[in-house]
Amino acid sequence: MGWFEALILGIVQGLTEFLPISSSAHISIVGQVFFGGHDPGAAFTAMVQLGTETAVLIYFWRDIVRIIGQWAKSLVGKAPRNDPDARMGWLVIIGSIPIGVLGLLFQDQIESTLRNLWITVAMLAGFGVVIAIIDRLARNERTLEQITWKHGILYGCAQALALIPGVSRSGGTIAAGLAMGYKREAAARYSFLLALPAVYASGFYQLAKELNDPSPDTAWGPVVLATVVCFVIALAVIHWLLKFVSTHSYVAFCIYRIAIAAVVAVLLITGVIPPVPATAG
């Protein structure tokens, strides 16, 4: 991977990670269309996502410190177990289990079979319709202080759908939140917090694999560049998205998902790009 390719992919990752349009789909599509038909791969995506999640860590720093503090105090009886922040800490942990377990069980499929662009097209369009319908029918009443154990587990199951490129981690969790009656901004906020353990675990896992058994093709300089670019752009996107969804619906994102799916479908049908990326086996 060259420096220019890393720069572009870093920009794409930073722009799309938190929008409900699937960053993994965009990374795969951009890699195939503009960089010789090569998918950067799940490992590259996982490592670069460390930059986007660090943006979440910084943006929500005060919230995260408060949640961890109250969660820790609840363990030793210094805070009530039903404290909203203590409960949030437990829910983030529990909600991260589904994607962690399924990610390990289906690692080979995630890094190969599921990166078929026809699957990506189907998920982009299909889940775009799902989000649009849910957003249209959503009550937008609940706040994060009202989140229940049942809802936390359902959020976690929805996040696990993001293992399929084209679904979108934020799209899955936000759609689940809206379906359960949460406000758009509340659903987005919880989506950001819930992603922290899973993405950091995945990113450091892939990083450890590369360090222990480095590939001769590993270009650490470009990977670091892409990660830094991701961080900077993602920080701005978080700020923008939370303001946007407080006054707008997700319809625009749904229309975009369907449009990009149609474009990629045409490219596949005409043979401009192959459905199975070169690095996906």
Beta-carbon contacts of residue 4 (< 8 Å; ≥ 6 apart): none
User: What per-residue confidence (pLDDT) applies to 201?
Assistant: 86
User: What per-residue confidence (pLDDT) applies to 278?
Assistant: 55
Q: What percent of the chain has pLDDT over 90?
A: 59
**What is the spatial distance between Cα 69 and Cα 79, in angstroms, rounded to a whole number?**
9
* pLDDT higher than threshold 80 for residue 44: no
> pLDDT tens-digit profile of 129-173?
999 999 999 989 999 888 988 999 999 999 999 889 899 989 999
- Of 242, 132, 251, 253, nearest in space to 189 by CA: 242
Sorting pLDDT into bands at 50, 70 and 90, what band is 281?
very low
189, two tokens: 């906020």
Of the listed ranges 165-174, 209-218, 236-245, 249-258, the one predicted with least confidence: 209-218
Sorting pLDDT into bands at 50, 70 and 90, what band is 280?
very low
User: What per-residue confidence (pLDDT) applies to 82?
Assistant: 81
The region that residue 41 occupies, defined by phi over 0 for left and psi between -120 and 50 for alpha, beta otherwise, is left
Burial of 281 (0-12, 13-18, 19+ CB in 10 A): exposed
- Kindly give the residue spans of alpha helices, DSSP state H, lying in the chain: 3-16, 23-34, 42-59, 61-75, 84-95, 97-105, 107-111, 117-137, 149-160, 169-179, 184-212, 220-245, 251-269
